[in-house]
Amino acid sequence: MSNNEGVTVYWRPGCPYCMRLRLALRLRRLPRTEVNIWENADAAAFVRSVADGNETVPTVVVAGHAMVNPSPGTVMAEVRGRAPHLLT
């Protein structure tokens, strides 16, 4: 479901952690795909598959590596290690 070369952020409306992470990544101008799990059943199923059956968001995939509720710093560290081509 996720982009194995880039960054995918799974989120849902009203989630304060999602809003914080999405804003931080936007301010860093990180290219990413954002997927609302309430509008995409396959995305919700993917999140459950990596979050112990829960729809915990934000869930972020960086070059195929899934992280549940990571901080912006953790996401950027993963990008530097797994997908440095995305950094400007």
Gap between the Cα atoms of 40 and 69, Å rounded: 19
Query: Residue 67 in 3-state DSSP?
Result: strand
Name the domain count of the chain.
1
Q: Is residue 53 part of a domain?
A: yes
Gap between the Cα atoms of 76 and 7, Å rounded: 10
Range of the domain at 76: 7-86
Q: Is residue 55 part of a domain?
A: yes
Q: Are 51 and 58 in contact (CB under 8 A)?
A: no
Q: Is residue 2 part of a domain?
A: no
Gap between the Cα atoms of 33 and 81, Å rounded: 19
For residue 73, the domain's CATH number is: 3.40.30.10
Q: Is residue 74 part of a domain?
A: yes
pLDDT, tens only, 23-71: 999 999 999 999 999 999 999 999 999 999 999 999 999 999 999 999 9
Q: Is residue 44 part of a domain?
A: yes
Model-level pTM?
Answer: 0.94
pLDDT score for 21? 98
Helices (H), 1-88: 16-27, 41-50, 72-82
Q: Is residue 1 part of a domain?
A: no
